[in-house]
Amino acid sequence: MNFFDDLKARLERFMQGRYGLDALSRTLLYAALPALLLGALPYLGLLSLLAYAMLGWALFRILSTNFTGRRMENEKFLLLSQPARRRATELYNRFKNRDKYAYFSCPKCHAKLRVPKGVGEITVTCKMCGHKFDKRV
């Protein structure tokens, strides 16, 4: 057994019975990294302190043995962050499919609609309100 295999086995034994990484802990770690980098700039030392607090909280959550408490915290975080995550996914998909589809809103109910590009002048029927209108794609 080489050094890295031994280290991996020791870490796995240590983490047994611990909560581990979840969405909230991952978000705290990702938010702490730029805060640490920006905190190194002059007059932003307080940001560095905030980054260390986020790292400490994330480490506490990862190493915690209180599964129920950490799970409830994570569920609350996921519930509160759902609109932002949904919007980010929507923007990512729009960017990824920008060559294939045109996106616009219904003039009546403002629902988001998607049609294939390159079709020309088409009559679009909104799935939400049934309003029909012409659109050049």
Q: What is the DSSP letter of 40?
A: T
**Rounded to 5 degrees, what are φ and ψ at 76?**
-65, -40
Calpha distance 9→124 (Å, rounded): 59
Per-residue confidence at 33, pLDDT binned at 50, 70, 90? very high
Calpha distance 38→57 (Å, rounded): 19
What are the tens digits of pLDDT across the range 11-21? 999 999 999 99
Among 89, 81, 133, 84, CA closest to 107: 133
* pLDDT average, residue stretch 105-131: 91
For the chain, what percent of residues have pLDDT higher than 70? 100
pLDDT at 1 over 80: no
53 token code pair: 């607090």
Each domain of the chain, given as residue ranges in start order, spans 3-96, 99-137
91 token code pair: 């923007």
135 token code pair: 């659109």
